[in-house]
A and B are shown apart, each in its own frame.
Chain A
Amino acid sequence: MHNFDFVKPSTIAEAVKALSDGDAQALSGGQTLLPSMKQRLAAPGTLVSLTGIAEMKGVCKGDGGLHIGAATPHAVVAREAAAHYPALAALAGGIGDPAVRSRGTIGGSIANNDPAACYPAAVLASGATVVTNKRQIAADDYFQGMFTTALEEGEIVIEVRFPIPQKAAYVKFNQPASRFALTGVFVAKFGDGVRVAVTGASNNGVFRWTEGEKALSSSFSADAVKGLSVDPAEMISDLHGTPEYRAHLVKVLTGRAVAQANG
């Protein structure tokens, strides 16, 4: 990879200042960015590490749910969220492999918004709030398509606040080589309805399957989605699966996630 200046601020204010240089890029766990830089798909002049900022780390119960610092690695979420939000902890514990989970972070994952990443499904299905150094963004407004988010230049994700559903589960169908989701579905049942978020399947990145949500809001059972069909028009087509295959997986995995959530 091309060389760059490396800085590691210890406060959010310092990080924001360092990122105001147009050629600077934020670095979290680096499990996507560093491989991209090795391939010279990215070549920032300065890398600003966010992993030394204490206030961006940790898992705690807060107003209205579970607050997770953006620089918290997956392994820590898997361990510390387990008692509060088991489905989210299980999702974190299934990303990549153990060494990747030691470094990769929730903030890095949702800032990158890879169309096959796991976390965007949890954030969207939970109706979480993305807290940045500037504002709070509802999950429904945050994800704006493949590798695209509401984040502006120099804006950093500080924390993600998850409302805790009554029941939830995430089921992913692994792409066996990369262990990214070929398709993954997160189902979350709240008092006022059910939210279903799908990753890995769509050319538009993570999305809500509203038809499934409607059916599950009237009857939270795997059978409720059996008669539905998912439109393959916007689904990803690659050597791992056709659009029709992914569309079918959306329905099948939703059913499995509901069955799992119901225990």
Chain B
Amino acid sequence: MAKLTMTVNGKTVSAEAEGRTLLSSFLREGLGMTGTHVGCDTSQCGACVVHVDGQAVKSCTVLAHDVAGADVRTIEGMANPDGSLGKIQQAFQDHHGLQCGFCTPGMVMSAAALLAENPKPTEAEVRHHLEGNICRCTGYHNIVKAVLAASGQDVSKIAAE
């Protein structure tokens, strides 16, 4: 065990962690931040996506000690300062971009990474970017719609399927 310090959602945090502790475990078990979900634990499903220094990563496949000192952002950091839903989260609610909600933290973090790099993506770009995020409920259509809406684009012509 060794002490590990990083910035999570703007706050400096420290906790003890073993060499093998994954970033996902550090967040959930070390810091009690269970918004980051672990679906497959094999880097397939994307439920555990967080940002490390602005880059989307699968936190189940990153060692916590390997990102010591980094600036980490999780789903808990996506709400507005007053606690209301952030823009992407609100779009997911407005467009029914979730059903069970398990994949949603990863979807929102992946979407945020996309919009930071490409503020007005096309539908094809959104679908390509979300390749590493698996949702077993929605069929993706409303997730894609929510991301496009969050980018400020008109989605009224995208029919619900």
Chain A residues engaging chain B, CB cutoff 8 angstroms = 1-6, 8, 27, 30-31, 34-35, 37-38, 47, 49, 51, 73, 75, 96-100, 102-103, 179
Asked if B20 CB lies within 8 Å of chain A CBs, one says: yes
- Determine whether the beta carbon of B43 is less than 8 Å from that of A5: no
Question: Which residues in B have their C-beta under 8 angstroms from that of A37?
Answer: 20
- Determine whether the beta carbon of B131 is less than 8 Å from that of A179: yes
Cα distance A47–B2 in the bound complex, in angstroms? 15
**A102 contact from B2, B22, B55, B114, Cβ within 8 A:** B55
Complex interface residues of chain B between 3 and 49 (CB less than 8 A to chain A): 18-20, 22, 41-43, 46, 49
- Determine whether the beta carbon of A5 is less than 8 Å from that of B19: yes
For residue A191, give the distance in angstroms from its CB to the closest CB of chain B: 35
Asked if B115 CB lies within 8 Å of chain A CBs, one says: no
**B110 contact from A5, A6, A96, A98, Cβ within 8 A:** A98
- Determine whether the beta carbon of A38 is less than 8 Å from that of B132: no
- Determine whether the beta carbon of A102 is less than 8 Å from that of B131: no
Cα distance A96–B44 in the bound complex, in angstroms? 9
For residue B67, give the distance in angstroms from its CB to the closest CB of chain A: 9
Cα distance A100–B61 in the bound complex, in angstroms? 9
Asked if B149 CB lies within 8 Å of chain A CBs, one says: no
Encoded as 1 (CB less than 8 Å from any A CB) or 0, chain B from 114 to 149 comes to: 100000000000000101110000000000000000
**B42 contact from A2, A35, A47, A75, Cβ within 8 A:** A35
Given contacts A27-B66, A35-B61, A47-B63, contact A99 B41 (CB under 8 A): no
**B132 contact from A34, A49, A73, A99, Cβ within 8 A:** A99
Cα distance A100–B129 in the bound complex, in angstroms? 11
Cα distance A38–B41 in the bound complex, in angstroms? 9
- Determine whether the beta carbon of A6 is less than 8 Å from that of B63: yes
- Determine whether the beta carbon of A3 is less than 8 Å from that of B65: no
Q: Which residue of B lies closest to A45 (CB)?
A: B19
For residue B20, give the distance in angstroms from its CB to the closest CB of chain A: 5
Cα distance A102–B62 in the bound complex, in angstroms? 11
- Determine whether the beta carbon of B56 is less than 8 Å from that of A102: yes
For residue A11, give the distance in angstroms from its CB to the closest CB of chain B: 17
Complex interface residues of chain B between 48 and 97 (CB less than 8 A to chain A): 49, 52, 55-58, 61-63, 65-66, 68
User: Could you list 19 further interchain pairs (A-B, Cβ under 8 angstroms) beyond the known A75-B55, A103-B62?
Assistant: A1-B20, A2-B20, A3-B18, A5-B19, A6-B66, A34-B63, A47-B63, A51-B66, A96-B132, A97-B133, A98-B114, A98-B131, A99-B49, A99-B58, A99-B132, A100-B43, A100-B132, A102-B57, A103-B61
Question: Which residues in B have their C-beta under 8 angstroms from that of A103?
Answer: 57-58, 61-62
Question: Which residues in A have their C-beta under 8 angstroms from that of B133?
Answer: 97
For residue B65, give the distance in angstroms from its CB to the closest CB of chain A: 5
